[in-house]
Amino acid sequence: MERTTAELTELLGRLRGADAARDPGLELAAVEAAELAHQHRAGLVAVAEHVAADPAILVAAVVAVDRPMDLEAAAELRYHLGDGPDIREVTEARTATGYPVVVAERILVTGRSTGAQLQAVVVDPGAPRIAVFTLHSPTGRGWLELSGLVGTLVAGVEFG
């Protein structure tokens, strides 16, 4: 986990440039992403970047659940995600491949910093599993562009 944290911190700092030294949120974001990635055995840990945005961290994993999920379970998931702190919006849709997906967007405001987080949960009705994508932007700058990149990725999910 320490190696993942160090690599993410270095990469975020390099992408952010001179402002990185003044942003305590970058290292915190790297630590949280590394913990999440290792805890859930993530299949993807990446830095998402866009020319009009500060870099963000993307973690994705396929997670086993107790039972196969259906549209009713996706609606229940939407209800529970919408009850969380700092939730700005929760939506339910379908991927381009037909899977139900629930998306929760958080705007984070603490005493020291602001940021944004998006979680997309893709439900596999045919098996007891879900794909979970978490995007975290320590600053929130360029959030629409970054979340659009993740939307494109989530839209193409195909359980095999």
Sorted by where each begins, the domain ranges of the chain are 42-155
Q: Which residue has the higher pLDDT, 28 or 61?
A: 61
Most confident of 32-46, 76-90, 110-124, 137-151: 137-151
Confidence of residue 20 (pLDDT cuts 50, 70, 90): low
Q: Selecting from 1.20.1440.120, 3.40.1000.10, 3.40.50.10090, 3.40.50.80, what CATH number does the domain 42-155 have? A: 3.40.1000.10
Question: Mean pLDDT over all residues of the chain?
Answer: 81
How confident is the model at residue 95, as a pLDDT? 94
For a pLDDT cut of 70, what percent of the chain falls above it?
81
Kindly state the average pLDDT of the residues 53-79.
Answer: 80
Q: How far apart are CA 147 and CA 44, in angstroms?
A: 16
Tokens 């007891």 — which residue? 128
With a CB cutoff of 8 Å and minimum separation 6, the contacts of 130 are 62, 63, 65, 69, 121, 122, 123, 124
Distance CA 5, CA 82 (A): 29
Q: Average pLDDT of 100-106?
A: 88
Q: What is the pLDDT of residue 111?
A: 61
- Examine the pLDDT at 120 and tell me if it is beyond 90: yes
Nearest to 130 by CA among 63, 33, 72, 78: 63
